[in-house]
Amino acid sequence: MTKVTPISGFPEFLPSDRIVELQFLDTIRETFELHGFASIETRAVEPVERLSNQGEDADKEIYGVRRLAAGADDDGPGLGLHFDLTVPFARYVLEHAGKLAFPFRRYQIQKVWRGERPQEGRYREFTQADIDIVDSGELPNHYEVELPLVIADALSRLPVPEFVVKVNNRKIPEGFYRGLGLDDVTTVLRIVDKIDKIGPDKVVERLVEAGATDKQARLAVQLADLSSTDTSFVEKVRALGVEHETLDEGLEQLSQVMAAAAEHAPGLLMADLRIARGLDYYTGAVYEIYLVGQESFGSVGGGGRYDALASDGKTTYPGVGISIGVSRLVHRLVSQGLVKGSRSTPTAVLIALNNEDDRAEAMRTAAQLRQRGIPVEVAPAAAKFGKQIKFADRRGIPFVWFSTGNGSEVKDIRSGEQVPADPATWTPPTDDVRPQIVTTAQENS
C-alpha cells in the first residue's frame, strides 16, 4: 500500500478548526456586504504573460498549468494559477466594463497559489478575502481612507488580537529617491522592501552595489525608519532635506488619509514609510495589516492603490484594494491556541436508537427538527445509551434525543438535565444551534 505523505505548503484543517475558518469567512463576507461590496468570482487561471512582471519574484512564484497529455513539441504553459486576486480582477473589469456600474465595489474570497518556500504563515495554496473599488477614468482619494476602515470593521467582529494597519504612499519613496538623484526607483524600492529581513546595514550595502552613493543609501534607509500615528511624519520627512514634486504629492495624499482616519478610527492607522509592497502595480497608498506584538510574523493582509493595472488603451480604470490573508490569520490563531471550534461537527442533536426497528421513526423526528433549522443526525447504530452518549460527547454534540416509554425526551449531556421534548416545538439555546468559536479567554472565564 502506498504511504500517504503530506505536501508542505498546502494546509488542511481538521473539522473543528475548519469551523473557525468558515465562521471567519462568513463574518468577513457579511461585513463586506454591509459596506455595499458585491461578490464576484474569477477563474483560477490567467495568461502567464498577464501574471508576469508584477514584481521581482512574480515569475518564480507562478504555477504554470499544462495538460499531462500535451505533446513534447507543445509550447510551455500559457496559463498560470493566479497568485493574488487583484490581477484577475483587473482583467475582469476590462472584460465586463460595459456591464458594470462605476465606481464598482467588489469583494472576492478565493484560493490563490504561490510558489513560496513553505514556512509558518507562508503557504503555496491559501484563501484571501479582497475588497476593491474601481472607477472609470479617475478615482477619488477618499476611497484610500474607506477601505482600511472596512477591513477594521470586519476584523473587529472577529476574535482577533489587537491589530494595526500600517500605511504609506508609493509616491513618497518614489519622489524621495528621485529627489536624491536615484532614478531606478523600482530597484531601490525592492532593496529597501527587504529591510525587515536583512537589516538596514545590508540594505545600505546593496543600494551602494546597485549604484547609489553611501549618503544616498543612508538617506533612503532613514526615510524607511520614519513612522507616526498622526501627520507628524511630514515634518520628519522634510527634515531630511530632500525635495521633489512627486514627494510633495505623496506627503499631501498620505496626510489626508491619516487625518481622516484619526477622525473615524483613532489609532487604527499608522503612517509607516517602510511599507512598500513588493508588487509593481501599486501607485499610491499601500497598506500592511499587522497583529500588534507579533510583527515578526509578518502582515496578515495588505493592499494599495493601482492607477494603471486595468486599461484598454482608451479608458483606464484606477482602483484601490485591500485583502485579509484568511488562511494565514486563522492558522496563526489556531496554532497559538487562541481560537477553536466549540465542536467538530455542525450537529446539535443526536437521535439515539433503542434498536434498529426505531430508525424510521428517528429519521422522521430528525426531519421535523431540521425543518426548523436544527442540525441533527441519527445515531449510526443501536447500542447502549451510555455508548451513544459517549459518541455524541466525543464530537461535541450537546444534545441527545431519546424515545422513552413516556414519550420523547432530550438530554443536555453537559449538564445532565433531561426534559420532555416535542420535535414540533423544541429548540436548543441559540448558541447551541450552530458551532461557535471558542477563545482562550472564554475557556478561562
| 349-363 pLDDT per residue, tens | 999 999 999 999 999
Q: And the C-alpha cell for 164? A: 494595526
Which residue intervals of the chain bear CATH 3.30.930.10?
Answer: 24-340
pLDDT digits (tens, 9 = 90+) for 106-130: 999 999 999 888 888 789 999 999 9
Give the pairing of strands 79-81 and 64-65: antiparallel
Q: Among 3.30.930.10, 2.60.40.420, 3.40.50.300, 3.40.50.1100, name the CATH number for the domain at 24-340.
A: 3.30.930.10
**pLDDT interval class at 442 (50, 70, 90):** low
Q: Give yes or no for a contact between 169 and 285, defined as CB atoms under 8 angstroms apart.
A: yes
**pLDDT interval class at 138 (50, 70, 90):** very high
Global confidence as pTM? 0.89
Q: Give yes or no for a contact between 127 and 110, defined as CB atoms under 8 angstroms apart.
A: yes
Helices (H), 210-244: 214-224, 233-238
Q: Is the bond into 103 cis (omega within 30 degrees of 0)?
A: yes
In CATH terms, is domain 349-444 a member of 3.30.70.100? no
| Angle formed by the axes of helices 245-264 and 142-156, nearest 10° | 40
pLDDT confidence of residue 58: 58
DSSP strands (E only) in 1-61:
38-39, 45-47
Q: What percent of the chain is predicted at pLDDT more than 70?
A: 95
Across residues 308-331, what is the average pLDDT? 93
Helices (H), 282-343: 326-335
Q: What percent of the chain is predicted at pLDDT more than 90?
A: 76
Residues 380, 388: Cα–Cα separation, whole Å: 9
**pLDDT interval class at 105 (50, 70, 90):** very high
Residues 15, 17: Cα–Cα separation, whole Å: 5
pLDDT confidence of residue 121: 75
CA distances from 47 to 62, 95, 147, 328, 426 (A): 11, 14, 29, 26, 55
pLDDT digits (tens, 9 = 90+) for 195-250: 888 999 999 999 999 999 999 999 999 999 999 999 999 999 999 999 999 999 99
**pLDDT interval class at 278 (50, 70, 90):** low
Residues 152, 351: Cα–Cα separation, whole Å: 42
pLDDT confidence of residue 295: 87
Which residue intervals of the chain bear CATH 3.40.50.800?
Answer: 349-444
pLDDT confidence of residue 193: 84
Binding residues for L-histidine: 84-86, 114, 128, 132, 277, 281-282
Q: Give yes or no for a contact between 165 and 289, defined as CB atoms under 8 angstroms apart.
A: yes
DSSP strands (E only) in 326-441:
339-341, 349-351, 376-378, 399-404, 407-412, 418-420, 437-439
Binding residues: 84-86, 114, 128, 132, 277, 281-282
Q: Is the pLDDT of residue 443 over 80?
A: no
> Nearest-CA neighbor of 16 among 338, 344, 438, 432?
344
> Nearest-CA neighbor of 438 among 333, 346, 348, 350?
333
Across residues 141-169, what is the average pLDDT? 93
